[in-house]
Chains A and B, each alone.
Chain A
Amino acid sequence: MQEPPDSIQQISLTAPPWTDDNESIATQETHPGYALQMHQAESFINELLARADARPASGSLLQYLCLIQRQYSCIPETTVHVLAERLSIPASQVFSVIDFYTFLHRTPRGDFDILFSNNITDRMLGSQALFGRLCQILHVEPGVPRADGRVTVDWTSCTGLCDQGPGMLVNGIAVSSLDEKRINEIAEQVENKTPLKQWPADWFEIKDNIQRRDILLSDQIVNGSAIEALINKGAENLLQAIEQSGLRGRGGAGFPTAKKWRFCRDTKADDYYVVCNADEGEPGTFKDRVLLNSYADNLFEGMTVCAGIIGAKKGYLYLRGEYLYLREALEETLQQRRQSGLLGNNILGQEGFDFDIDIHLGAGAYICGEESALLESLEGKRGIPRKRPPYPVNQGLFGKPTVINNVETFINAAKIAVFGADWLRAAGTEQSAGTKLLSISGDCERPGIYEYPFGTSVSQILADCGAADTQAVQVAGAAGTTLTADAFERSICFEDLATGGSFMVFNQQRELLAMVKNFSDFFRHESCGFCTPCRVGGALINDLVNKVMVGHATQLDLEEMKNIGSLMQQASHCGLGATAPNAVLQTLEKFPDIYTARLANRSFEPAFDIDAALAPSRKITRRDDPGAHIAYEPEQSSKP
């Protein structure tokens, strides 16, 4: 055995992990991941375990892996074996988790790992050209670390900066409002090895951008007042108030909140959990980003009220990895609440009212926004949606009854506790009480956060955000509804257009097929792979969309897309697969011209594309000249 060298990686146990990394970037000449000595891995994991003892939430396998990734820009194989041994799990289980989450890697990324947001709204703001430019000036191939290990430039799914895009993540930290000047400056910082925290602070400034406030964003509550209301009124009375308010889940599904809490409360168990779903991954949604930034106390208050009602001692905030930059402030808010007696043991002096909240980071998996996949992820596993029944209210986290709600739902609940049921009832419609936060982006003058009473029409919203000449609106994200102009009188509410809040506007100049392709690429990338229709069907339909894009598709291919889409809707294991083909199916129906205009006008189109099949050869020979292609000879159509 070789003698262990002295330079063991230092980590701080108090500062957020990314600040430590940034220190090490400037000094890291080579990737320690390539040849990490066993004792180094052991000592690093020992420190992680010590930290986990202090805060048990970070004890999940996924949290360890996130920290190892940040430290070494990959998960060195040595650490996998050490971690598996310490946690008494098979090493293959650790690998299976690494391979599932896009932010975890077996091989090193660059010291600066730059990920451009790949949402259609970022693309509409010019992200593709900026991506190309950065790759060019840094001399880096997309997705491949530069030879000196300095930098990787790649794409990632929507980072939730659609109102101030194009956005990117640099070593996990969000950078907004990219333009050519900023791209040039970023390249300079990378070449100069400037540690991330010495980059200009305004690059990392993420604005709340609240354009319209209604009751939820306007009516403020004093910290602790909702918990006091719970103590004064009693759990049953408060549950009834929430019931009477008509509060429904704000993630989009609209399940009655009081009913969910009551199911959980009525399930006999020795432990209960409260989980907040802040894995805001639906493309075009960013309202939780704002709520977590400016209304975190209200959120934690709502979770604490829920805990008091169902009898939970432990809560988790599942924060999407893309919002890592919010973590430090959220931890501070939690700490302040502990100091104020609003979290911890004997909350507000109530004997036995014990509850605390831990933050759990995601690592780049849209599917973890599905509640049962989120629970799997919290348990440190791959985010594969569970079978139902059992439902989380009966058997949720670690098999215990669990309430999972959206950020916005908990904040509503906290305010109902203080202001009463009528506060929510006063706004909205009969079946959809209250308001909805919309994340508006795309072709409009004033993108941002808009809070509207349920029942507000799409045309009203378009007028308010300064959208003109609108061709289509995509409501509820990539999995949502594509609206044509004749449907703009429809309204946002559970009885009509249910949404988690994504609202993307496309004007007449946009080619909608680019949107369809973007969403189809997204779902292929984000399918968990568990069930056949979503895993394979999603890839088949994506290939067909691409076939349309390059002008090789025929009418038969459009029929095929409908058949595959319909099967995905009916046969998929979970909501992701069932909604993944929505954009394709709806645009085929509502905008058939965007497809037919690109169809190959020929009697026969071979399924095998010889030119595409030559792509690997072109890559190997580094040729892309006309002679390296076999072009299709456009067949003269006999039809007019």
Chain B
Amino acid sequence: MSATVTFLLDGKAIPFQDGDTVMDAALRAGEYIPHLCHNPEFTPHGSCRVCIVEVNGRHYSACTLPAAENMNVDNSSEAIMAKRRSLLQMLFVEGNHICPACEKSGACQLQAVAYYTRMLSPHFPHFFPRRSIDATHPDIIFYHNRCILCGLCERASRDVDGKNVFTISGRGMNSRVIFNSDSGKLGDSELSISDRAASICPVGAILPKSKGYQVPIGQRLYDTRPISLVGDSNIRRNDKT
């Protein structure tokens, strides 16, 4: 009889393999841990901290925490959810996230995770940063206002597309995504609409042009079921429209 090693996620035994993170094992077992910068396709980043969990009184990001036997992981207490709400609120006030005016609304992970954690308002004062929009690419538009610095476009372009189109630059609150081209414009980069990086953005920062409102409001990914059941908008899926 082969012994299955497990850890506890909210009291439920989750089997895991050597090298798994808590996030890997939980997702495989069909358990949802809220996350934004994580995508199973890519090396974990651990930057958004929304997947924060508590183990023995200490806090970790589940996407970077190696699973260990008999670990007791708190993923859904009110205390943990409150921390996630605060982190999401920080992301909302840092950028300019105007959901009613955003094409991604209804299929946006930031919005969906905020609903899931029952975030009711941005709470903190808005920074209202002045950020630009890069519309120079024929097929793709980049809204810096909505970027949450998850680094997924950087990883996708580098690791899957082999292009290094996106790089996170700067420091602190001045961090921003820049594009690799002679002019610094997205239109002069090697980005193609079929690139993995073009469809990886969990929010409305990278959007295809000429596709606005093809899926009506009310029929979008998270319009009827929560992200905990639907999963990420940016994973490779067969039924993706």
C-alpha gap A540/B123 in the complex (Å): 11
Which residues of A533-549 have CB atoms within 8 Å of chain B's CB atoms?
Answer: 533, 535-540, 543
List 21 interface pairs A-B (beta carbons < 8 Å), by A numbering: A90-B164, A91-B182, A92-B169, A92-B180, A95-B169, A96-B169, A96-B178, A101-B171, A365-B171, A387-B46, A525-B172, A528-B171, A531-B48, A535-B173, A535-B175, A536-B91, A538-B172, A564-B86, A567-B83, A570-B59, A571-B83
Closest to A530 in B: B47
Q: Are B83 and A527 in contact (CB under 8 A)?
A: no
**Residue B215 at the chain A interface, CB threshold 8 Å:** no
**Residue B64 at the chain A interface, CB threshold 8 Å:** yes
A379 to chain B, nearest CB (A): 15
**Residue B66 at the chain A interface, CB threshold 8 Å:** yes
**Residue A293 at the chain B interface, CB threshold 8 Å:** no
Q: Are A81 and B49 in contact (CB under 8 A)?
A: no
Q: Are B180 and A91 in contact (CB under 8 A)?
A: yes
A613 to chain B, nearest CB (A): 10
Chain B residues with CB below 8 A from A93, complex form = 164, 167, 180
Q: Known: A96-B167, A99-B170. Contact between A563 and B86, CB under 8 A?
A: yes
C-beta contact mask, A303-344 vs B, less than 8 Å → 1, else 0? 000000000000000000000000000000000000000000
Closest to B44 in A: A387
Q: Are B173 and A539 in contact (CB under 8 A)?
A: yes
Q: Are A571 and B87 in contact (CB under 8 A)?
A: yes
**Residue B115 at the chain A interface, CB threshold 8 Å:** no
Q: Are B172 and A573 in contact (CB under 8 A)?
A: no
Q: Are B64 and A387 in contact (CB under 8 A)?
A: yes
Chain A residues with CB below 8 A from B64, complex form = 387
Instruction: Please name 9 further chain A to chain B contacts, defined as beta carbons within 8 Å, in addition to the given A92-B166, A387-B46, A530-B175, sorted by A numbering.
Output: A92-B164, A95-B167, A529-B172, A532-B48, A535-B94, A536-B93, A536-B94, A540-B93, A543-B125
Which residues of A554-570 have CB atoms within 8 Å of chain B's CB atoms?
Answer: 563-564, 567, 570
**Residue B149 at the chain A interface, CB threshold 8 Å:** yes
C-beta contact mask, B48-65 vs A, less than 8 Å → 1, else 0? 111010000001010010
C-alpha gap A314/B166 in the complex (Å): 33
Chain B residues with CB below 8 A from A131, complex form = none
**Residue A524 at the chain B interface, CB threshold 8 Å:** yes
Q: Known: A91-B180, A92-B178. Contact between A532 and B125, CB under 8 A?
A: no
Q: Are B171 and A99 in contact (CB under 8 A)?
A: yes
Q: Are B174 and A567 in contact (CB under 8 A)?
A: no
C-alpha gap A535/B174 in the complex (Å): 9
Q: Which of A101, A526, A540 contacts B124, CB < 8 Å? A: A540
Chain A residues with CB below 8 A from B169, complex form = 92, 95-96, 99-100, 382
- Interface, chain B (partner A; CB < 8 A): 44, 46-50, 52, 59, 61, 64, 66, 83, 86-87, 90-91, 93-94, 124-125, 127, 149, 164, 166-175, 178-182, 184
Q: Known: A365-B171, A530-B47, A535-B173. Contact between A92 and B179, CB under 8 A?
A: yes
Q: Main SS of the interface on chain A?
A: helix
Closest to B125 in A: A607
Task: Name the residue in B48, B50, B86 with the highest tally of chain A Cβ atoms < 10 Å from its Cβ.
Answer: B86
**Residue A389 at the chain B interface, CB threshold 8 Å:** yes
Chain B residues with CB below 8 A from A532, complex form = 47-50, 87, 90-91, 94
C-beta contact mask, A74-116 vs B, less than 8 Å → 1, else 0? 0000000100000000111101100111100000000000000
C-alpha gap A92/B46 in the complex (Å): 22
Q: Known: A529-B149, A540-B90, A540-B124. Contact between A100 and B49, CB under 8 A?
A: no
Chain B residues with CB below 8 A from A99, complex form = 169-171, 174, 178
Q: Are B52 and A571 in contact (CB under 8 A)?
A: yes
C-alpha gap A607/B52 in the complex (Å): 29
Chain B residues with CB below 8 A from A101, complex form = 171
The 6 A-B residue pairs with the shortest CB-CB distance, nearest first, are A529-B175, A96-B169, A92-B180, A536-B90, A92-B167, A90-B180
C-alpha gap A527/B171 in the complex (Å): 7
Chain B residues with CB below 8 A from A526, complex form = 172
C-alpha gap A168/B175 in the complex (Å): 27
Chain A residues with CB below 8 A from B127, complex form = 539
Chain B residues with CB below 8 A from A92, complex form = 164, 166-167, 169, 178-181, 184
C-alpha gap A538/B90 in the complex (Å): 10
Chain A residues with CB below 8 A from B50, complex form = 532
C-alpha gap A539/B87 in the complex (Å): 13
Q: Known: A99-B170, A526-B172. Contact between A533 and B90, CB under 8 A?
A: yes
C-alpha gap A538/B49 in the complex (Å): 15
B80 to chain A, nearest CB (A): 10
Chain B residues with CB below 8 A from A536, complex form = 90-91, 93-94, 173
Which residues of A577-616 have CB atoms within 8 Å of chain B's CB atoms?
Answer: 607-608
Q: Are A531 and B49 in contact (CB under 8 A)?
A: yes
Closest to B178 in A: A92
Q: Which of B49, B167, B173 contacts A533, CB < 8 Å? A: B49
A293 to chain B, nearest CB (A): 29
Closest to B84 in A: A571
Chain B residues with CB below 8 A from A540, complex form = 90, 93, 124-125
Chain B residues with CB below 8 A from A538, complex form = 172
A506 to chain B, nearest CB (A): 27
A17 to chain B, nearest CB (A): 24
Chain A residues with CB below 8 A from B61, complex form = 573
C-beta contact mask, A180-192 vs B, less than 8 Å → 1, else 0? 0000000000000
Q: Are A570 and B83 in contact (CB under 8 A)?
A: yes
Chain B residues with CB below 8 A from A572, complex form = 49
Chain A residues with CB below 8 A from B44, complex form = 387
B167 to chain A, nearest CB (A): 4
C-alpha gap A573/B48 in the complex (Å): 9
C-alpha gap A412/B48 in the complex (Å): 40
Chain B residues with CB below 8 A from A530, complex form = 47, 175
Q: Are A573 and B47 in contact (CB under 8 A)?
A: yes
Closest to B93 in A: A536
Q: Are A96 and B170 in contact (CB under 8 A)?
A: yes
Closest to A91 in B: B180
Closest to B94 in A: A536
Chain A residues with CB below 8 A from B180, complex form = 90-93
Q: Are B171 and A571 in contact (CB under 8 A)?
A: no
C-alpha gap A529/B166 in the complex (Å): 17
Chain A residues with CB below 8 A from B164, complex form = 90, 92-93
C-alpha gap A607/B121 in the complex (Å): 15
Q: Known: A96-B168, A539-B127. Contact between A531 and B46, CB under 8 A?
A: yes
Closest to B127 in A: A539
Chain A residues with CB below 8 A from B66, complex form = 389
Closest to A524 in B: B172
Chain B residues with CB below 8 A from A543, complex form = 125
Q: Are B46 and A81 in contact (CB under 8 A)?
A: no
C-alpha gap A533/B59 in the complex (Å): 13
